[in-house]
Amino acid sequence: MATKHEQILRYIEDLPIDSKISVRSIAKDLKVSDGTAYRAIKEAENRQLVKTVERVGTVRIEPVANRKLSHLTIEEVSRLTDCRIYGGAQGLNKKVQKFIIGAMEADDVRQYLAVDSLLIVGNREEIQRIALDQGVAVLITGGFKPSKEIIDLANERQITVMTASFDTYATATIINKALIERSIQREILVVEDIYIPFDKTSYIYDDHKIVDYRRLNLETGHTRFPVVNHNHQLLGMVTAKDLLDHDQATKIAKVMTPAPVVAKTQMSVASVTQRMLVDGLEILPVVDDQNQLLGILSRQDVLQTLQYSQFNNENEGQIEHLLDENLKQVSSSQVSKTHRYRFTTNVTMTDQFGVFSSGILSATAQRVLHKYMSETYNKLVVVKTVSLYFLQALGSQNTIDFVIEELELTRRSLTAEVKVWHGQELLAKAIMTANIFEN
């Protein structure tokens, strides 16, 4: 029987796109506690089933499979800006490649209109009519309702006319934020991008015997296999060490490790990597929501992918990219195993009190650790713990130095200290531990 958590997730999956949900409504409808409802909503958010939209609330969004498309559709824009559709609903699925703000004279707007555009304009009926005549959808800001003539024209041309309650600036800001998120989303690697599919996966049935494992081992050279039933549902994992002290006629079901850690296709590679490091896993079975085996994810594939993405990720919207741009190595010592990195702060990195943000400081210290391990050992790491000690406050627009020193280094883990200096003043100190991703 499904748990309450799983029942809530299925309930959310079955909701129509654009449905609003809340902790209280879920708790009331499904008769669960607020805490259970909250945890399920956060899990749904991680699976990209729902999203919290500013000034709107938490809403059911499109399936994750479509989120790597490069352009927004008119329907997506309408959901983002909480629009009311007045006409031309047939055109909601059209993609939008260009956004135009109609802040010019009617005669001048024609030169900016193009196919697959969306015109953002106030209650200027003449400009609205020109856009519809040229096949361009119209988003009217300020909550103004289009005239009957405009609605009829939109329905006739099957071109969307919709209204948002926000002003033009707020509407454009919301859309711009969505475009940045979409750009970043395309760069985030998920399991679906790199896993080995089922038809190329070696697996063994639960009613097979150890002698069958030996045969499969000789054929493939592998020592770890997913264990499935004859419906290809995952039951466990079996490795060479599981077979010790067992007879060749023993069934795999008796020696396998049941209920193994699994990955889903839409999990990020970064989160899966951390789990593989912590548990020391060489492969992860990839399953669907019915626990059907879809394939496997190998440690080597993950490592190669992360190494490639580390040196080829140039997405300017990500905070890590912005921090790396301001972080430059200025000195190093192989004797003391210390490296010094210089960082320039600015006013966008301050908190509400006007001092350097503790969150940015922690993130920068972690970037220093990543750069140090990459440049010194050509190793990838996953930060495990960060203990940050603040000694003095720092204002905006200053140059500070991050000095990293190894405290303990093993084959699989690192403990390091990062000191933050402004001139001769020690501002902060961080003690960090990390897991090392072995080649």
Strand-pair category, 137-140 with 117-121:
parallel
Q: Could you report the per-residue pLDDT of 408-438, keeping only the tens digit for each?
A: 999 889 999 999 999 899 999 999 999 887 6
Q: Could you report the per-residue pLDDT of 210-247, keeping only the tens digit for each?
A: 999 999 999 988 999 999 999 999 999 999 999 988 99
Q: What is the mean pLDDT of residues 267-284?
A: 82
CATH of the domain at 421: 3.10.129.10
Quote the domain boundaries for residue 97: 74-184
Q: Which of 303, 290, 230, 222 is nearest to 262 (CA)?
A: 290
Confirm if 106 and 131 have CB atoms less than 8 A apart. no
Percent of the chain predicted with pLDDT > 70: 92
Q: Could you report the per-residue pLDDT of 93-125, keeping only the tens digit for each?
A: 999 988 999 988 888 888 889 888 999 999 999
Instruction: With respect to residue 312, please indicate whether it lies within any of the assigned structural domains.
Output: no
Instruction: With respect to residue 291, please indicate whether it lies within any of the assigned structural domains.
Output: yes
* Domain-ending residue, one of 184, 204, 224: 184
Burial of 300 (0-12, 13-18, 19+ CB in 10 A): exposed
Instruction: With respect to residue 179, please indicate whether it lies within any of the assigned structural domains.
Output: yes
CATH of the domain at 118: 3.40.1390.20
Q: Which of 419, 427, 371, 366 is nearest to 395 (CA)?
A: 427
Asked if 261 and 197 sit in the same domain, the reply is: yes
DSSP 257-308: EES---B-TTSBHHHHHHHHHHHT-SEEEEE-TT-BEEEEEEHHHHHHHHHH
CATH of the domain at 292: 3.10.580.10
Strands of the 50-53 sheet, one edge to the other = 20-21, 57-60, 50-53
Residues facing 300 on adjacent strands: none
Whether 314 has a pLDDT exceeding 80, the answer reads no
Instruction: With respect to residue 241, please indicate whether it lies within any of the assigned structural domains.
Output: yes
Dihedral sign, Cα of residue 134, residue 135, residue 137, residue 142: positive
Burial of 65 (0-12, 13-18, 19+ CB in 10 A): exposed
Asked if 289 and 395 sit in the same domain, the reply is: no
Instruction: With respect to residue 224, please indicate whether it lies within any of the assigned structural domains.
Output: yes
Instruction: With respect to residue 133, please indicate whether it lies within any of the assigned structural domains.
Output: yes
Whole-number Å distance between alpha carbons of 139 and 161:
6
Asked if 343 and 384 sit in the same domain, the reply is: yes
Per-residue pLDDT at 63: 56
Q: Which of 337, 324, 431, 322 is nearest to 384 (CA)?
A: 431
Instruction: With respect to residue 314, please indicate whether it lies within any of the assigned structural domains.
Output: no
Q: What is the mean pLDDT of residues 32-60?
A: 83
Asked if 272 and 359 sit in the same domain, the reply is: no
Per-residue pLDDT at 77: 92
pTM passes above 0.85: no
Asked if 177 and 197 sit in the same domain, the reply is: no
Q: Which amino acid is at 304?
A: Q
Instruction: With respect to residue 413, please indicate whether it lies within any of the assigned structural domains.
Output: yes
- Distance between terminal CA atoms of the chain? 41
Asked if 141 and 218 sit in the same domain, the reply is: no
Among 21-30, 315-324, 415-424, which is the least confidently predicted range?
A: 315-324
* Domain-ending residue, one of 17, 36, 66: 66
Asked if 351 and 255 sit in the same domain, the reply is: no
What SS3 state is found at 101? strand
Confidence of residue 251 (pLDDT cuts 50, 70, 90): very high
Whether 70 has a pLDDT exceeding 60, the answer reads no
| Higher pLDDT, residue 67 or 1 | 1
Asked if 349 and 417 sit in the same domain, the reply is: yes
Asked if 202 and 280 sit in the same domain, the reply is: yes
Among 78-87, 147-156, 175-184, 311-320, which is the least confidently predicted range?
A: 311-320
Q: Could you report the per-residue pLDDT of 138-185, keeping only the tens digit for each?
A: 999 999 999 999 999 999 999 999 999 999 999 999 988 888 777 766
Q: Which of 229, 230, 260 is nearest to 242 (CA)?
A: 260
Q: What is the mean pLDDT of residues 256-277?
A: 86
Asked if 10 and 82 sit in the same domain, the reply is: no
Asked if 90 and 161 sit in the same domain, the reply is: yes
* Domain count along the chain: 4
- Six-digit token string for 265: 């296709």
CATH of the domain at 31: 1.10.10.10
What SS3 state is found at 82? coil
* Domain-ending residue, one of 40, 66, 92: 66
Which residues in 244-270 are b (16+ Cβ under 10 Å) and which e? eeeeeeeebbebbeeebebbebbbebe
Asked if 222 and 302 sit in the same domain, the reply is: yes
Whether 317 has a pLDDT exceeding 70, the answer reads no
Residues in the chain, total: 439
